[in-house]
Amino acid sequence: MRILVVEDEAVLRESLKTRLEAAGFTVDEARDGEEGLFAGREYPLDVAIVDLGLPQVPGLEVIRRLRGEGKTYPILILTARDNWQDKVEGLQAGADDYVAKPFHFEEVLARVQALLRRSGGWASPQLKCGPVVLDTRAQTVNVRGEAVELTTFEYRILEHLMLRAGEVISKSELTERLYDQDYERDSNVIEVLIGRLRRKLDPKDELQPIETLRGRGYRFALARDAGT
């Protein structure tokens, strides 16, 4: 999953980046509202964290403009502890949730993960599609109750496909979500990772969980379990 962090306090921004990366996210950083607007417009994001108190362009304005331009990814705002007006204004500007400073990283992570699940149409942190179960909190995958060991990149691809199970995801979209802007991109890597995922999830070639749509991309093909 690709996440933008817009925060002017360097120590806080760096610590969010490090911990989000450790949690499996690809992280883009912005140091002020102007950089935040640029990144929010240009990068293929799944979710954004926006501090409200920002130099150049205030956080509320960043959110209003991104929403005004049709950006629909979930946005979590960082607000001052006792300022309920900030929270209300942030939500009215188009944010989806908030965390008050100072916060525990675990709360930020839990809220970001919940926003991602809901934007993919999932209510529970366990994504269940037939025999394949992916737990977004533990970052584990089971097939018919048996644990499947995945590398970080394999997990990231599977999570992205399963969060949007049933939808076609292009190869370039997957590539953009694996690497941040500084990384050299190679779409052949995606093919290799998809091949490995197929062998690990479905060694006997019975389930065929990941479909290739020639020229369009990939789709997680197993139906979502009702009520999850």
- Select from 51, 89, 154, 176 the one that contacts Ca ion (CB under 5 A): 51
- Asked whether position 58 contacts Ca ion by CB under 5 A, the answer is no
Which one of the spans 52-60, 129-137, 173-181, 210-218 is the region binding Ca ion (CB under 5 A)? 52-60
Candidate segments 1-9, 64-72, 180-188, 215-223, binder of Ca ion by CB under 5 A: 1-9
Rounded to whole angstroms, the Cα distance separating 217 from 2 reads: 18
Q: Give the nearer residue to Ca ion in terms of CB position, either 8 or 29.
A: 8
For residue 53, state whether it binds Ca ion (rule: CB under 5 A).
Answer: yes
Residues composing the chain: 228
Size of the site for Ca ion (CB under 5 A): 3
Start-to-end Cα distance in the chain? 20
Whole-number minimum distance, CB 17 to Ca ion, in Å?
15
Q: Which stretch binds Ca ion (CB under 5 A): 13-21, 53-61, 100-108, 138-146?
A: 53-61
Q: Which of residues 6-45 bind Ca ion (CB under 5 A)?
A: 8
The CB-side HSE value for 66 (13 A sphere, CA atoms) comes to 34
Stretch that binds Ca ion, among 5-13, 131-139, 180-188, 192-200 (CB under 5 A): 5-13
Q: How far is CA 5 from CA 14, 39, 45, 77, 105, in A?
A: 9, 9, 11, 10, 13
Please list the alpha-helical segments (H only) found in the chain: 10-22, 33-42, 59-68, 84-93, 105-119, 152-163, 171-178, 188-201
**Residues 71/40, Cβ–Cβ less than 8 Å:** yes
Nearer to Ca ion, 36 or 217 (CB): 36
86 binds Ca ion (CB under 5 A): no
Contact 3, 28 (CB under 8 A): yes
Residue number of the CB closest to Ca ion reads 53
Kindly tell me which of 8 and 154 has the beta carbon lying closer to Ca ion. Answer: 8
Shortest spacing between CB 139 and Ca ion, in angstroms: 30
136-144: long-range contacts, CB 8 A cutoff, minimum separation 24: 137/113, 139/24, 141/201, 143/201, 143/202, 143/207
CB of 5 to Ca ion, least distance (A): 12
Interacting residues toward Ca ion by CB under 5 A: 8, 51, 53
